[in-house]
Amino acid sequence: MLIANSFALITDATPPAELGFALGVNQIAFILGAVLGLTVGGVLIETAGWRYIFAMNLPIGIFGTLWAHLRLRETAQTERHASLDYLGLCLFTTSLTSLLLVISLATMAAIGNTEAAILYSISLVTFALFLYFEPRKSEPLLDMRLFKIRLFSAGNLSQLLYSLGFGALSLIVILYFQLIRGYDALTAGLLFLPLDLAFVSIGPISGRLSDRYGTRGFVTLGMGVGAIGYFALAFLVTATTPLIQIEIILIIVGLGLGLFASPNISSIMGSVPPQRRGVASAIRATLFNTGNLVSIGLVAYIITTAIPYQVVSGIISGGYTTLTPNESTGFVTGMGRAFMVAAAITLVGMCVSSLRGREIKTRTTAS
């Protein structure tokens, strides 16, 4: 709920000519919170145990709830008499939940083939029914007419493809630092920080420039830079690669993400009518999160081409904390193949982004 509504709130509160920059600043807040959470979480795990990570969120959640209640004001034109599409909600929730559940369980080897086939079938059938009924609803859960907007469709497809390529990167790189290079969880997380820092450094700049010159070029360039970073990870990273070289590659990936993220979100949110921004943001968030989770399952499958499936599922579920020399070699080989696939997916997204068309500069905000 927070992620889906945050971009709609920012879009409503920001002049159209400054939307990309505002979304870039929002990236800083998001990554800063993630970095602090990673650092504090690592300290808590090492000193007090993993349960305190959840306890830490209680005061933060209470403060955030009170602050939002006191400070946020509704600026959009709400649809006061709109009814909830219960059929669409049930179908879409069932489809998405079944898909994410089977991917999660299959990644950890916690489900059999028969049960997996049943869940996949449920997801497919309910999604087909959702696509059949939604266009016939006067007040649908997801307004499918939004996909007739070229900028909206291309932006969301680019978002999905980028998240498919990028989603599992943090997991696989941190596992590499821990299992192959022998660092603890906190150090592995800190070694990933150059990517985040590059992301937040270029994000506001990319957003500001996209406000002036348009989003298509920056989104397309960002996906291209990201693909270069994935190819570098695939061909240059081994068990003995110098850390400085890995950090430089992670910075390249972070720069690509920073160039891509805020202009693409600006393009999506700026292409829809003000009264549909909440729905548009929800669709974007759903595709982003789905792509991230599917990416983990895809990477797990690719790595199984180099080491046994049981080892891969044990690594991802946390059951394996050390690997044999043969398993380590296989993990690095599978990791390289996964990054090659990520690069290929991102290049496809780059082509999609380049075809999104020109933006309409008459975007309006709700008053």
328 plus 274 within the same structural domain: yes
Q: Has residue 226 been placed in a domain?
A: yes
Domain of residue 103 covers 85-140
Q: How far apart are alpha carbons 139 and 332 in whole angstroms?
A: 50
Q: Has residue 180 been placed in a domain?
A: yes
287 plus 305 within the same structural domain: yes
Dump pLDDT digits (tens) for 126-158.
999 998 988 888 778 777 888 888 899 999 999
195 plus 103 within the same structural domain: no
Domain end, chosen from 124, 140, 156, is at 140
72 plus 193 within the same structural domain: yes
Give the CA angle between residues 97, 301, 306 to the nearest 5°. 165
36-60 as b/e: b if 16+ CB within 10 A: eebeebbebbeeeeeeeeeeeeeee
156 plus 125 within the same structural domain: no
117 plus 196 within the same structural domain: no
Place of tokens 């994935």: 230
175 plus 302 within the same structural domain: yes
CA 54 and chain centroid, separation: 22
Q: What CATH number should be reported for the domain holding residue 235?
A: 1.20.1250.20
29 plus 121 within the same structural domain: no
- What is the model's pLDDT at position 312? 82
> How many domains is the chain built from?
2
Q: Has residue 271 been placed in a domain?
A: yes
Dump pLDDT digits (tens) for 291-344.
888 888 888 888 888 888 788 878 776 667 788 889 899 999 999 999 999 999
102 three-state secondary structure = helix
Q: Has residue 20 been placed in a domain?
A: yes
CB 5 within 8 A of CB 69: no
| Average pLDDT across the chain, whole number | 84
Domain end, chosen from 96, 115, 140, is at 140
- What is the model's pLDDT at position 363? 45
Which residues of the chain are under the pLDDT cut of 50?
Answer: 361-367
Q: Has residue 365 been placed in a domain?
A: no
What's the whole-model pTM score? 0.82
92 plus 31 within the same structural domain: no
125 plus 177 within the same structural domain: no
CB 290 within 8 A of CB 100: yes
CB 268 within 8 A of CB 278: no
Overall residue count recorded for the chain in this entry: 367
DSSP secondary structure string for all residues of 316-344: HHT--S---HHHHHHHHHHHHHHHHHHHH
Domain end, chosen from 140, 156, 181, is at 140
CA distances from 238 to 13, 173, 176, 232 (A): 47, 12, 10, 11
Q: How far apart are alpha carbons 210 and 215 in whole angstroms?
A: 5
132 plus 153 within the same structural domain: no
Q: Has residue 258 been placed in a domain?
A: yes
324 plus 252 within the same structural domain: yes
- What is the model's pLDDT at position 223? 94
Q: Has residue 364 been placed in a domain?
A: no
Q: Has residue 296 been placed in a domain?
A: yes
